[in-house]
Amino acid sequence: MRQDKIFVNGCAIDLYSLNTIVVGSGAAGFNAVDSLYDLGRRDLALLTEGVAMGTSRNTGSDKQTYYKLTLAGGVPDSVLDVAQTLFAGGAMHGDLALCEAAGSAASFAKLAAIGVPFPHNRYGEYVGYRTDHDPRQRATSAGPLTSRFMAECLERRVKAREIPVFDGYKVIGIVTGGGVCRGLLALNKAGLGDLEKRFALFNCTNVVWATGGPAGLYACSVYPESQTGASGIAFEAGVRGRNLTEWQYGIASIRFRWNLSGSYQQVLPRYISTDAGGGDPSEFLYGHFPDATRMLTAIFLKGYQWPFDSRKVDAWGSSLIDILVHKEMQEKGRRVFLDFTKNPSVLASDFSNLGEEALAYLKNSGAMQPTPIERLAHLNHPAIDLYENNGIDLARERLEIAVCAQHNNGGLAVDCWWETDVRHFFAVGEAAGTHGVYRPGGSALNSGQVGSARAALYIAERYGEEPLPNADFVACAETLTAEKIALSESFLNNKTGRTPEKIRAEIGGRMSKHAAHIRSSDGVRKVREESAAQLKTLAGETILRNPQELVAAFENHDLLVAQQAYAAAMDDYIACGGGSRGSYLIYDRDGMVVPAEESMMASVQEVAYDAGNCRVDWGPVRPIPEPDAWFENVWREFRDDRSVR
Ligand SMILES: Cc1cc2nc3c(=O)[nH]c(=O)nc-3n(C[C@H](O)[C@H](O)[C@H](O)COP(=O)(O)OP(=O)(O)OC[C@H]3O[C@@H](n4cnc5c(N)ncnc54)[C@H](O)[C@@H]3O)c2cc1C
């Protein structure tokens, strides 16, 4: 890595030149840089806005799942079977499904070898369990914090190998030239108050974008607060979005962000809504079910049917609850809580009006105590401790909830080496849009590991060139840098306006209201129009209390670009006749639910953003490839070019 100083518009800026920079310190980013090192590359660095930030490091769930090829027992499984399961989720390209399946065992074995505590039996079998959309028992878990263990174990390797880490740098622009990525422009968070230190430029042959999901788009979110995402910057640089309509949403607590799945629902808490001040409590669910039994069954089932699923609404299914929670909040302006201190008032004291499945479960588990909190204490005391450790006493307080964004199945469009249309720019982990409409639980973590390893292999084999000479790089970077300097100057010099927090609340509020699990043509168009208007005025309407807030102001810029691309994708999907599927319902103008349009599961939507305009295209899903499986032939090809092409 070379270090120089250059001048843009009279402003001195540090310039680092190196072969590859990986952006993001989640499980995907650390694995990308670590894999490059394994492959003999040394001119590398990892850059992050904060090593301890992001989803992998700061999230979890009851039993955070990792999906992989079966590695235990006698049930037959194969790479092709796994690929078919992934592909069956709809709107997913077959080559990506095959790569994720083929890379699964090696990626998993690496994690286990470096210390992620995935459980195995005495004979070394990694026994699995069945997760959602899984025909086998391919799922495993290292407990509630699987992704944290992954990030930590990978980080240890990166440290031991002394791979340089730029900690505290926020990328705000991607430098391109002739459709090729040339580097990055970042804010140096430690130097924001000083113009000479505020910016840093990175001149590199390759960028691996491991910036996670665009979590900041939603106000109701179970992503950790430190995760904002940076997909807008990539759209601005010409990277296309794929399957941007596809997300996962579910019920989570909002003061401390945590999914309310598993035992939190199986103990049958009371759902109540209140006015803004916490008064006028109402058990709002009951009026929407024909009887108590069906309401209690829906609550119980939510335990293992956690994500909102458009197919689980009819006939008083568990996802009806997510709709009712949304209505209370977004239409009536009320707050919604789970109360573990009292039973739903319709629950008979002898549980005689419980459905068969719920009753059998509670009886078999010895969880027939009189109140939800006592049942939870019996079933899963750590679930109570978790809240206690985060300042919430479930035995005394109501738990405020919302239907929250949890994962983006779509993202940046990549090929089977996780390279985007902007050459030398790779997107891995949640930033990449590799999943379809449905996906097995745990396949996000698998995809992040496989994709980052494949991007590393491609770079190591094909993209070893030196970065550009400084003068050529400056020619590519000048305009972008000058624009971002000018934007920062407006943010800093405005005397009136709204704070970045206030603007963020507006960005997230409109998305949670109109473009989450409940969508309509009018709603998503409103999001599109409002975000376009807000992007135009952002430079003049943001007021900062100190230079540290530049980071949040640039995040808002990124999010508004992303919001346009996401809303354009949703708008076009509805206009093309797309109905309710995956984790969202589409309503028509008469308030009727639009049914799924099955034929659209065989197409993939892509969005290109260009200076405020979005172009949307559709194409057929690529089938699962059927490559030559004759060993001698594969060996010959592998000897030629390691089959990296
Ligand atoms: C509550 C919850 C439960 C989940 N459960 C599961 C599960 O059971 N199984 C499963 O497979 N998946 C699950 N997921 C999803 C999974 O955890 C994430 O998809 C995955 O951890 C993302 O990893 P990543 O490395 O791609 O991104 P992240 O871990 O989010 O890392 C992104 C990194 O990029 C950095 N960054 C972002 N923008 C910039 C920028 N502009 N400049 C510099 N740095 C930047 C961030 O600070 C962070 O370090 C869950 C997610 C949530 C929220």
Same domain as 402, residue 280:
yes
Whether residue 66 lies inside any domain: the answer is: no
Query: Among 384, 406, 428, which residue terminates a domain?
Result: 406
The atom number, within ligand 1, closest to the CA of 30 reads 25
* Closest CA to ligand 1's atom 31: 26
Q: d(Cα 254, Cα 257) in Å, to the nearest integer?
A: 5
Region of residue 2 (phi > 0: left; psi between -120 and 50: alpha; otherwise: beta): beta
170 Cβ below 6 A of ligand 1: yes
Query: Among 371, 406, 441, which residue terminates a domain?
Result: 406
Given a cut of 90, whether residue 9 has pLDDT beyond it is no
pLDDT-derived band at 372, boundaries 50, 70, 90: very high
Q: d(Cα 286, Cα 303) in Å, to the nearest integer?
A: 18
Give the pLDDT confidence of 98-151 residue by residue, as tens digits: 999 999 999 999 999 999 999 999 999 999 998 888 888 999 999 999 999 999
> Looking at the DSSP assignment, which residues form a beta bridge with residue 336?
273, 401
Same domain as 388, residue 269:
yes
Residue-level pLDDT at 131? 86
445 Cβ below 6 A of ligand 1: yes
Domain CATH number, residue 589: 1.20.58.100
Please name which of 410, 428, 425 lies closest in space to residue 56, comparing C-alpha atoms: 428
Same domain as 258, residue 400:
yes
Given a cut of 90, whether residue 422 has pLDDT beyond it is yes
Q: Cα–chain-centroid distance for residue 94?
A: 21
How large a percentage of the chain has pLDDT more than 70?
100
Tokens of 555: 């995040």
Whether residue 62 lies inside any domain: the answer is: no
Mean pLDDT rounded to a whole number for the chain: 96
Same domain as 388, residue 537:
no
* Closest CA to ligand 1's atom 10: 442
Same domain as 372, residue 519:
no
65 Cβ below 6 A of ligand 1: yes
As for how many domains the chain has, the answer is 2
Given a cut of 90, whether residue 386 has pLDDT beyond it is yes
Q: Give the number of other CB atoms < 10 A from CB of residue 549.
A: 18
Given a cut of 90, whether residue 550 has pLDDT beyond it is yes
Mutate to test the pocket of ligand 1, among 111, 407, 412 (most ligand atoms within 8 A of CB): 407
Q: What is the pTM of this model?
A: 0.97
pLDDT-derived band at 63, boundaries 50, 70, 90: confident
Q: How many angstroms separate the alpha carbon of residue 362 from the centre of ligand 1?
A: 35
Q: How many angstroms separate the alpha carbon of residue 536 from the centre of ligand 1?
A: 29
- Asked if 218 contacts 228 with a C-beta cutoff of 8 angstroms, the reply is no
Tokens of 188: 């140096």
Same domain as 357, residue 268:
yes
Give the pLDDT confidence of 165-190 residue by residue, as tens digits: 999 999 999 999 999 999 999 999 99
452 Cβ below 6 A of ligand 1: no
17 Cβ below 6 A of ligand 1: no
Whether residue 340 lies inside any domain: the answer is: yes
Residue-level pLDDT at 393? 98
Given a cut of 90, whether residue 10 has pLDDT beyond it is no
CA atoms within 13 Å, Cβ hemisphere of 453:
20
Q: d(Cα 421, Cα 433) in Å, to the nearest integer?
A: 13
Residue-level pLDDT at 377? 96
Residue 383 DSSP SS3: helix
Burial of residue 270, with CB atoms counted within 10 A of its CB: 0-12 exposed, 13-18 middle, 19 or more buried: buried
Q: How many angstroms separate the alpha carbon of residue 445 from the centre of ligand 1?
A: 9
Same domain as 508, residue 394:
no
48 Cβ below 6 A of ligand 1: yes
Whether residue 291 lies inside any domain: the answer is: yes
Mutate to test the pocket of ligand 1, among 152, 445, 484 (most ligand atoms within 8 A of CB): 445
Whether residue 357 lies inside any domain: the answer is: yes
Residue-level pLDDT at 59? 93
Same domain as 303, residue 402:
yes
210 Cβ below 6 A of ligand 1: yes
Query: Among 383, 406, 429, which residue terminates a domain?
Result: 406
Q: How many angstroms separate the alpha carbon of residue 229 from the centre of ligand 1?
A: 9
94-102 vs 104-113: helix axis angle to the nearest 10? 40
Mean predicted confidence (pLDDT) in 232-237: 98
Numbers of helices and strands, H then E, in the chain? 20, 22
Which secondary-structure segment (H or E) carries 407? strand 399-408
Query: What does 471-493 look like in DSSP terms, one character per residue?
Result: HHHHHHHHHHHHHHHHHHHHHHH
Q: How many angstroms separate the alpha carbon of residue 430 from the centre of ligand 1?
A: 6
* Closest CA to ligand 1's atom 19: 430
Given a cut of 90, whether residue 406 has pLDDT beyond it is yes
Q: How many angstroms separate the alpha carbon of residue 331 from the centre of ligand 1?
A: 31
φ and ψ at residue 23, rounded to 5 degrees:
-105, 120
Given a cut of 90, whether residue 507 has pLDDT beyond it is yes
> Looking at the DSSP assignment, which residues form a beta bridge with residue 337?
272, 400
Given a cut of 90, whether residue 84 has pLDDT beyond it is yes
56 Cβ below 6 A of ligand 1: yes
442 Cβ below 6 A of ligand 1: yes
Mutate to test the pocket of ligand 1, among 35, 56, 251 (most ligand atoms within 8 A of CB): 56
φ and ψ at residue 202, rounded to 5 degrees:
-125, 115
211 Cβ below 6 A of ligand 1: yes
- Starting at the edge strand found earlier in the chain, the sheet holding 247-253 runs 258-259, 247-253, 399-408, 335-339, 270-274
Q: d(Cα 379, Cα 367) in Å, to the nearest integer?
A: 7
Residues making up the chain, counted from first to last? 645
The atom number, within ligand 1, closest to the CA of 555 reads 41
Report how far apart, in Å, the C-alpha atoms of 213 and of each of 1, 50, 187, 216, 375 are: 29, 16, 20, 9, 35
Q: Where are the beta strands (DSSP E) in 227-281?
A: 241-242, 247-253, 258-259, 270-274
The atom number, within ligand 1, closest to the CA of 431 reads 26
Same domain as 578, residue 489:
yes
Q: Beta 425-427 vs 199-209: how paired, if at all?
A: parallel
Sign of CA dihedral 633, 634, 639, 641: positive
Mutate to test the pocket of ligand 1, among 30, 59, 306, 412 (most ligand atoms within 8 A of CB): 59
Q: Give the number of other CB atoms < 10 A from CB of residue 626.
A: 9
Q: d(Cα 5, Cα 13) in Å, to the nearest integer?
A: 6
430 Cβ below 6 A of ligand 1: yes
* Closest CA to ligand 1's atom 37: 211
Whether residue 546 lies inside any domain: the answer is: yes
259 Cβ below 6 A of ligand 1: yes
Whether residue 320 lies inside any domain: the answer is: yes
Q: d(Cα 553, Cα 492) in Å, to the nearest integer?
A: 10
Whether residue 34 lies inside any domain: the answer is: no
306 Cβ below 6 A of ligand 1: no
208 Cβ below 6 A of ligand 1: no
Same domain as 401, residue 492:
no
Give the pLDDT confidence of 443-499 residue by residue, as tens digits: 999 999 999 999 999 999 999 999 999 999 999 999 999 999 999 999 999 999 999
Same domain as 397, residue 310:
yes
Report how far apart, in Å, the C-alpha atoms of 305 and of each of 262, 296, 426, 582, 631 are: 9, 14, 34, 13, 43
Q: How many angstroms separate the alpha carbon of residue 24 from the centre of ligand 1?
A: 9
The atom number, within ligand 1, closest to the CA of 141 reads 8
Mean predicted confidence (pLDDT) in 591-603: 94
In the chain, the N- to C-terminal Cα span, in Å, equals 27
Q: Which residues of 594-622 are buried (b: 16+ CB within 10 A; e: fewer)?
A: bebbeebbeebbbbbbeeeebebeeeebb
Same domain as 500, residue 375:
no
* Domain containing residue 252: 248-406
pLDDT-derived band at 27, boundaries 50, 70, 90: very high
